[in-house]
Structures are given as structure tokens and as C-alpha cells.
Structure 1
Amino acid sequence: MKKSTNKILAVLIVSFGLSVSTFAQAGNSDEKPKGPPTFKQLLKEFDANEDGKISQKEVKGPLAKDFKKIDTNEDGFISEKELKDAPKPERRERPRN
């Protein structure tokens, strides 16, 4: 009887440990989202003065390089519509070895 109880207890402990481990891994996903960032994500990252607009002075990286292409009405800000309608970057093929 005691061996049977110990086996059941061991199985329960292992099952609990595995389920906790799986749950913890699912919650710690630090992977970047796939696809281009949304306008809201860009606002959160670049809108330094929190005016709800993305200005040329606020952007960095590839977005800064292509700012004039994206800002089609040339008002100095990128709107959600302008970002949506922006030309998509060309995909580069990986070199084959």
C-alpha cells in the first residue's frame, strides 16, 4: 500500500512540475512579432513628445531613411494611412552556399 501511494505521489509531483514548466515557457515568449510593426507599435517606440504623431526628428533606423517616401503629403509626419500605403521593402534572397 505504501509503495502504491509513493508511486502515485511521484507521478503527481512530476506531472505538476511539467505543467508548471510548460506554462512558464509559454508566458515568457520574447520572440519578435512577425511582419512589419503596426502604427501603434511605431508610436509607442518613436513618439517621444507623445503628440500622437511620428515626425522625421523622432524616427531612427530604416524608417528614417525612407521617411520622405512614406510621408506622401509632405507634412513632416507619418500618418497611419501613409504607413499602411507605404511601399513594402524588397525582400532580399538569402545567399545559397
Structure 2
Amino acid sequence: MKTGIVMITLLFAFSANAQSSKKERGAKPSTFSELLEKLDANEDGKISKDEVKGRLKDNFDKIDTDKDGFISETEYENAPKPERSKRE
């Protein structure tokens, strides 16, 4: 009986974790305002290469089309969006 309860509890825990992972993958991209709030460390209202990481840092030079060293709202909105990986 106790083993059954433990198994059911584990099943629910794994199920809930799998559902939250799916939601995170399907999350919409951040707005520029949200990005500023998260990344603008010096609070100058701009996003510099030093303030970003990950894919955004890897693609910074492509996104910064006017080459001023900052990503503007227009540049962010016009940046190519990452392709979603297709499930097999």
C-alpha cells in the first residue's frame, strides 16, 4: 500500500515537471521593456554587449545594425527570431 502511494506521488511530480518544461519552451520572447528591466545593469536605458549573454550576446553584432554598440528597441524588434526546433 505504501509503495503504491509513493509511486503515485512520484508520477504526479514527474508529470507536473514535464508540463512546466513545455510551458517554458513555448514562452513568448521578452519585450524590449522586459529585456531592459532584466539586463540593463547600469540603468542607462540601453543594452550593451557587456550586459547580455547567451544567444543574444552571440548575435549582438548582427542585431546592432547601426553599429553604435547598443541594441535599440527597433533593432531588437527587427532582429530575426530563433527558429523553434521541430519535434521528431
TM-score (norm 1): 0.61
Structure 1 residue 34: Cα displacement: 2.7
Which blocks of at least 5 consecutive residues in structure 2 are unaligned? 1-22
The aligned counterpart of 1:84 is 77
Aligned sequence identity (%): 58
Q: Which has the higher helix share?
A: 2
Counterparts of 1:1-97 in structure 2, within 5 Å, are: 34-94=27-87, 96=88
Q: Secondary structure at the match of 2:51?
A: coil
The count of corresponding residues between Structure 1 and Structure 2 is 65
CA RMSD of aligned residues (A): 1.6
Q: Secondary structure at the match of 1:52?
A: coil
Higher relative contact order (CA 8 A, sep 6+): 2
TM-score (norm 2): 0.67
Matched AA of 1:73: D
Q: Deviations over 1:19-48 (max 9, x none)?
A: xxxxxxxxxxxx768311000111011100
